[in-house]
Amino acid sequence: MPELNGTGRTVTVRVNGEPVTMPRGSMLVAALLNAGVECRVSVSGEPRTALCGMGICFECRANVDGVPQQRTCQIVCKDGMTVETQR
């Protein structure tokens, strides 16, 4: 079972091509938030970021390693992971 507190190590993911370094165990959505990148554009053109943080609202969805519509709040950051947001 993963126990991720206090390892003191980091991982680096790419958010829209830019490297973002996060504490190991971080969720992908946090990398987007720390980078100041919105997750998606709503159907009427509004920028959106995560709301619920727990897999319910689907506002944090983005393309992760080529797979579209992934809830980034449910995915743990791994080295080399790539996230592309809707822009």
Partner 1 sequence: MSHEFDIVVVGAGPAGLAAATAAAGMGRKVAVLDDNPHVGGQIWRAGAGKSAADRAREQAVAGLESSSAELFAGRQVVDASPGSLQAWVGAEQRLESFQFESLILATGARERFLPFPGWTLPGVFGAGGLQALVRGGYDVRGKRVVVSGTGPLLLAVAAHLKQDGAEIVAIAEQAPVSQLAGFGVTLLSRPGKILQGIRLRAELSGVPYRTGCWVVAAEGSGAVTGVRLTDGTQTWAERCDLLACGFHLVPNTELASLLGCRITETGVEVNAEQRTSVAGVYCAGEPTGVAGVDAATVQGRIAGLAAAGQSAAAASLYGKRDAEVKFGRAMSRAFALRAEVLKLAEPDTIVCRCEDVRFGDLEGNCVPRTGWTDAKLQTRCGMGPCQGRICGPALDALFGWRNASVRPPVFPIPIAALCSAPLYDSEVSIHEPQEISQ
- Which residue ranges make up the site for partner 1 (CB under 8 A)? 1-5, 22-27, 29-31, 33-34, 38, 42-44, 46-59, 61, 67, 69-71, 73-77
CA distance 77 to 87: 21
Nearest distance in Å: CB 66, partner 1: 11
Q: Are 81 and 63 in contact (CB under 8 A)?
A: no
Nearest distance in Å: CB 8, partner 1: 10
Q: Between residues 18 and 46, which has the closer beta carbon with respect to partner 1?
A: 46
Please tell me whether residue 70 adopts helix, strand or coil conformation. strand
